[in-house]
Structure 1
């Protein structure tokens, strides 16, 4: 059984649209993958502002943006297909861009209407992967554990460091996963105060000074004492993190918050006594953050080739689309907290 799929991923850190074209093969109940083409398309300043402001606009403007962003995704996919002369494509799977995520109120919203992608490309599209899980009482996140379970089972755990860091592992005979803490969503905000889009190699943090009082307050936030499953959204960051960081220089905030992220990630590594962990996501390139995590834990850090660091999430959404088209389970309730495993995503 062989499938060719395109996965689209736009993370909360707004570093661009990830597009991944991959081949998936199932032999003797074992899935294998091969990333054939992949690229990140940086957002224009206009699109970055539109997506950043989407949490604050009127409902009418948000509905308009949902359609507009759907056509944007459709155009980018069309250009990607033409650029790489792709012929054999079974489906496009789109995560969309998260605007709201409040599972306790039973809603989550990822904009980018999949019907617009279908109209422009005439290829089956799977989208809106999170809503069904939230309606079933789950967090709607994290979703990538199904891919970790079926594609990356040789590692004790998989860590993604993006806007938020999340972990996925097998414990007590089942796959569990949860958000650990915010990372790039906070770091990028304060790097921008220093005229940079992100803290390259963690150099600002490396040269800043940790504010021990702020660090203590960050590490004491109630979320970190909650049991999994659990997930984070930008609303939580704005309410709980940003107010603690006032009255400090950007360099010192970056030093303090990097230390906080390393504390929280290492705490999880040590609790589960992982032998090795696969690191992916943009935060993997933050060499200072990686140093600080290594300093706090003896877990072996597995850093793969850049293609996997950059495109693992887009790869797994493509895989989730394949599973959905075959009506196979693509969301694990042990990871999200919903009432049952299920096959999620709207198909057009």
Structure 2
């Protein structure tokens, strides 16, 4: 049934592995869509899940199938705890991204674990999930999916930039929404700061203390992905094949790696946003808290870098996956061919009802 108000839980797990983001949101449709984030929480992964999720590309199909079931059970526990803690009673759907295990759209492959039908049974709610697969079947990249939310919920900004495991961006160009992945961010920074026994570089202070390695910077900026025309997207496989070997071959200390990679990120981002002048750039994701990175971006652009409230910074992707679920429930477009390169706009995702799931 088409309604004007939806109460949903958006669930997101990103490649930076900082945890599972959950947001309880009300969406209201009048002339335009409006939303309110009522409750939101990030649940950090226990160490054994971090280790598994880091190495998903190395498991066999049978191993990955077992991990998928275990992760779905774990996700259900987290969602149920969130519902109980906040005593949430009105839920139209739980809208979950899952966690990306494989992403090779050029080979027609994308897989997110945690999207099994049993999730609906375990949380006793309607579940909308598995948003990427259909787009890849239609010849698209299966990513990024957030731009429909940028278009309908955050359209007062010229650019919407997210700094998570990867940097991705979207904008309205010639009445078409365009969006793509720019470069890796936390998926690389967090890996190398582990050498120092840390999970992340607080405010980018360690990176700031390092020195620029111009040879590494030039090699990074010369990677062929950066000269490709969108639509295009990145995955862990690409980072493992292209980025890590290149960095490791330079044999430099961790501080200099972090410093140089921040310079690389800032260069690639401003190379995009400087194509338009005097524009506003809504900037979200965990990378916003890396003060050194934000400073380096601002040094290279005259455009306005807009930092929103912490709720939007941290939970924008969970919010938008909740919105993707709402659009799916309404049978409306939630995936744009102008963004992913698919054959057509479409309403992507699977709907599982807890009373019919097996």
Compute the TM-score of the two structures, normalised by the length of structure 1. 0.98
Matched, 1:273 2:277: yes
Match of 1:139 in 2: 141
Matched, 1:312 2:323: no
Q: Gapped runs of 5+ residues in structure 2?
A: 353-358
Q: 2:42 aligns with which of 16, 40, 43?
A: 40
CA offset at residue 274 of structure 1? 5.3
Q: 2:16 aligns with which of 13, 18, 43?
A: 13
Further displaced range: 52-61 or 19-28: 52-61
CA offset at residue 261 of structure 1? 0.1
Match of 2:355 in 1: none
Q: Gapped runs of 5+ residues in structure 1?
A: none
CA offset at residue 121 of structure 1? 1.7
Further displaced range: 48-57 or 19-28: 48-57
Q: Hey, what's the Cα distance between the residues in 1 that align with 2:259 and 2:114?
A: 35
Q: Runs ≥4 in structure 1, deviation > 2 angstroms?
A: none
Q: Hey, what's the Cα distance between the residues in 1 that align with 2:326 and 2:126?
A: 11
Q: Hey, what's the Cα distance between the residues in 1 that align with 2:244 and 2:291?
A: 24
CA contact (8 A) 1:20 1:37 kept: yes
CA offset at residue 53 of structure 1? 2.2
Q: Hey, what's the Cα distance between the residues in 1 that align with 2:283 and 2:104?
A: 27
Match of 2:98 in 1: 96
Q: Hey, what's the Cα distance between the residues in 1 that align with 2:41 and 2:309?
A: 14
Mapping 1:149-188, distance limit 5 Å: 149-188=151-190
Match of 1:290 in 2: 294
Match of 1:107 in 2: 109
CA contact (8 A) 2:57 2:237 kept: no
Compute the TM-score of the two structures, normalised by the length of structure 2. 0.96
CA contact (8 A) 1:70 1:115 kept: no
CA contact (8 A) 2:163 2:287 kept: yes
Matched, 1:345 2:345: no
Q: 1:301 aligns with which of 295, 305, 308?
A: 305
Q: Hey, what's the Cα distance between the residues in 1 that align with 2:236 and 2:50?
A: 15
CA contact (8 A) 1:114 1:126 kept: no
Matched, 1:249 2:253: yes
RMSD over aligned CA atoms reads 0.8
CA contact (8 A) 1:75 1:117 kept: no
Deviations 1:295-330 (A, max 9, x none): 000010100111110000000000000000110000
Mapping 1:50-69, distance limit 5 Å: 50-69=52-71
Match of 1:261 in 2: 265
Deviations 1:63-98 (A, max 9, x none): 011111111111111110000000100000110000
Q: Hey, what's the Cα distance between the residues in 2 that align with 1:149 and 1:78?
A: 31
Q: Hey, what's the Cα distance between the residues in 1 that align with 2:252 and 2:234?
A: 24
